[in-house]
Amino acid sequence: MTQSSLSGLRIVVSAGPTYEDLDPVRYLGNRSSGKMGFAIAAAAARRGADTVLVAGPVQLPTPEGVQRRDVRSARQLRDAVIAALPADVYVGAAAVADWTPRTVAVHKLKKADGVDTLTLELVRTPDTLAEVAAHPLRPRLVVGFAAETDDVERHARGKLEKKRLDLIAANRVGVAGSGFESDDNALVVYGRDVDGRGLERALGPAPKAQLADDLLDLVFEQLTAGPR
């Protein structure tokens, strides 16, 4: 861990889950705690970066020196990230819902006598990572995250190529002692070096604060490696 300075750079980080409302009291969500993204934002600010954190609904304190934008839904997250451009780096650490209800009920959905099933119509949410990677104000480096339950490398590399990312940090969820709610994690970062060789770097297992610094060391390495 070199603690490379990021002074003069603007870094946008998204963190946490999104909540997709079903009615005034229920939503579709996930188990993301936001801890990894918050750790990355804290480390970036500590290294001198102008840091914007787009945070889903989590109960975490704002890291010192970080500009925080609170959002709830995938659409709100997308809008806040795009509004934060231009930037030198975007780190998409949020666990953004892939699907959202087509309509939100005005009143609480209640059980009805004799009705044992409920059908929901879901539609795709905006793909913020892919949109940032294709944006006219595209950051110099776009970093994604892939939380997978199986075949981690294949899914992560597929996401890297499909979304045209520069780096993707992959981890297996559902493993004791790491993942969403844990303070520790383990990542494998995939990408391409400037000379065209495939990049693969294992980080951890370690506390998320240390992984954040290790990941930013790799970001700095990529930014200073020459023309992409």
pLDDT in tens, 50-87: 999 999 999 999 999 999 999 999 999 999 999 999 99
* pLDDT of 177 strictly over 70: no
Lowest mean pLDDT among 68-77, 169-178, 194-203: 169-178
Q: Which of 21, 123, 24, 117 is nearest to 73 (CA)?
A: 21
pLDDT of residue 227: 57
What are the structural domains of the chain?
10-102+120-223 (3.40.50.10300)
pLDDT of residue 198: 74
Note if 185 is an active site residue.
no
Lowest mean pLDDT among 12-16, 105-109, 112-116: 112-116
Q: Which residue has the tokens 């990355």?
A: 40
| CA pair distance 140, 54, nearest whole angstrom | 19
Select the more confidently predicted residue: 177 or 120: 120
200-223 pLDDT, tens digit per residue, is: 999 989 999 999 999 999 999 999
Q: Which residue has the tokens 């979304």?
A: 163
pLDDT of residue 13: 98
pLDDT of residue 148: 79
pLDDT bucket at 1, cuts 50 / 70 / 90: very low
> What are the CB-based long-range contacts (under 8 Å, 24+) for 127-132?
127/163, 128/14, 128/74, 128/77, 128/78, 128/81, 128/82, 128/92, 128/96, 129/92, 129/163, 129/165, 130/162, 130/163, 130/164, 131/78, 131/82, 132/81, 132/82, 132/85, 132/90, 132/92
pLDDT of residue 79: 98
Omega cis (within 30) before 86: yes
* pLDDT of 195 strictly over 80: no
Omega cis (within 30) before 205: yes
| CA pair distance 56, 73, nearest whole angstrom | 8
How many CA atoms lie within 13 Å of 200's alpha carbon, on the beta-carbon side?
A: 6
Select the more confidently predicted residue: 228 or 89: 89
pLDDT bucket at 171, cuts 50 / 70 / 90: confident
128-156 pLDDT, tens digit per residue, is: 999 999 999 999 999 999 987 788 888 89
Rounded average pLDDT over 164-190: 79
The dihedral sign for the CA sequence 31, 32, 33, 36: positive
pLDDT of residue 225: 80
Span between the terminal Cα atoms of the chain, in Å: 23
Select the more confidently predicted residue: 60 or 182: 60
pLDDT of residue 115: 83
Of 4, 30, 67, 210, the catalytic one is 30
The average confidence (pLDDT) of the chain is 91
